[in-house]
Amino acid sequence: MRPFTYARPDAAADAVATLAADPDARFLAGGTNLLDHLKLGVVEPTQLVDVTGITSTEITELDDGGLRIGAGVPNSDLAADPRVRERYPAVAAAILAGASGQLRNMASTGGNLLQRTRCAYFADPTTPCTKRDLSQGCSARGGWARYHAILGASEHCIATHPSDLAVALVALDAQVQVLGADGARTIPIAAFHRLPGDDPTRDTVLAHGDLVTAVDLPAPTPAVANSTYRKVRDRASYAFALVSAAVALEVREGTVVDVRIALGGVAHKPWRATTAEAALRGRPATDDEFRAAIAAELEAAEPVESPLGGNAYKIPLVTGTVVSTLRGLAGGVA
């Protein structure tokens, strides 16, 4: 591990100013992803700025009926909060589907959104990776691509975003509160993570020094109160998603009134399935309609073929996951 200095400022503005003045500095929050990357040599900062004492660890009620989650709230506390469990079940379920009890105790809300891809080549500095270094090539294309993207990828990067929480937040239209060198601003979660395009080194729209201070959940709608998160993985626990879906559904007299679908494990960012949602609104809540809607969404899918394991299997897997999750929320057998 390269040497670094350690700073613990008293105020968020100081932390932001410190990073803004030092391109080689990084924020430290829960550290679960950063410590691993420091050991692997994936990142080599010269200064760590500890924000654990200055980001809020509170969950507070907003005037509009929503909830504000401090960026420092541990994942375990967020999932256990009675208001979150009751009003936003997809959020609690998504967190509980990820990592382990120890990691959820350590990891912060802000850090969860900012965790990096688990692409094996990204984590291995001895292999080329455009996400680590734009001048290099992508080792995953033609390599071990089983976990990789089927939607929205570019020639430079087929990595997927690993967060479960972010998928639920995208389905629920959460807002991310950010403090930057020029002051505070709000970013809709759907616009927070990026597709890789020409610059896969950037996972989000944040600039260096931007600090996530909170995540706001909007007032729950009937669909959000009837939401859940389904994750499919290689083993029953403590594994990243092959595919996942955060789904919210309101059905009245057999007709879909409101539906939100976000997919994990399929793209460089949590993928809001707007095509499928539009296809379902106003339609009967039946398996055939569910299947047709997700098929319309996946028309744009471009699975990766590889002698070491491709990812075409994700198309039927996403289809089955979304259809069964919708069926369960509509009152049928999930």
Partner 1 sequence: MTTTIPMSITVDGERHDLDVDPRTTLLDALRERLGITTTKKGCDHGQCGACTVLLDGRRVLSCLTLAVAKDGAHVVTADGLATDGELHPVTEAFLANDAYQCGYCTPGQICSAVGAIDEARRGMPSAVTADLAADVTLDRSEIAERMSGNLCRCAAYVNIVSAVEEAAHR
Question: Site residues (CB under 8 A) for partner 1?
Answer: 1, 3-6, 8, 28, 31-32, 35-36, 38-40, 48, 50, 52, 76, 79-80, 82, 85-86, 89, 92-93, 96-97, 99-103, 105-106, 236-238
Contact 227, 85 (CB under 8 A): no
C-beta closer to partner 1: residue 192 or 240: 240
C-beta closer to partner 1: residue 90 or 140: 90
φ/ψ of 272, rounded to 5, equals -80, 120
Cα dist from 124 to 117, 131, 134, whole Å: 12, 11, 15
Q: How far is the CB of 80 from partner 1 (least distance, A)?
A: 4
Q: How far is the CB of 124 from partner 1 (least distance, A)?
A: 12
C-beta closer to partner 1: residue 1 or 333: 1
Q: 189, exposed or middle or buried, with CB in 10 Å at 0-12, 13-18, 19+?
A: buried
C-beta closer to partner 1: residue 135 or 237: 237
Q: How far is the CB of 152 from partner 1 (least distance, A)?
A: 27
C-beta closer to partner 1: residue 102 or 201: 102
What is the distance, to the nearest Å, from the Cα of residue 88 to the centroid of all Cα atoms in its chain? 16
What would the two tokens of residue 263 be?
Answer: 């997919």
Cα dist from 202 to 30, 115, 181, 198, 271, whole Å: 21, 12, 19, 10, 17
Paired strand residues for 48? 6, 26
Nearest of 27, 31, 32, 3 to residue 15 by alpha carbon: 27
Indicate the angle between helix axes 287-297 and 314-329, nearest 10 degrees: 140
Q: How far is the CB of 230 from partner 1 (least distance, A)?
A: 11
C-beta closer to partner 1: residue 56 or 76: 76
Q: How far is the CB of 46 from partner 1 (least distance, A)?
A: 11
Q: How far is the CB of 30 from partner 1 (least distance, A)?
A: 8
* 3-state class (DSSP) for residue 283: coil
Q: How far is the CB of 11 from partner 1 (least distance, A)?
A: 17
Cα dist from 26 to 5, 18, 108, 303, whole Å: 11, 9, 15, 35
Q: How far is the CB of 299 from partner 1 (least distance, A)?
A: 32
C-beta closer to partner 1: residue 92 or 293: 92
Pairing, β 243-252 against β 255-264: antiparallel
Distance, in Å, from the CA atom of 61 to the CA atom of 46, rounded to the nearest integer, reads 38
C-beta closer to partner 1: residue 50 or 289: 50
C-beta closer to partner 1: residue 91 or 129: 91
Contact 98, 104 (CB under 8 A): yes
Q: How far is the CB of 101 from partner 1 (least distance, A)?
A: 5
Contact 57, 74 (CB under 8 A): yes
Paired strand residues for 78? none
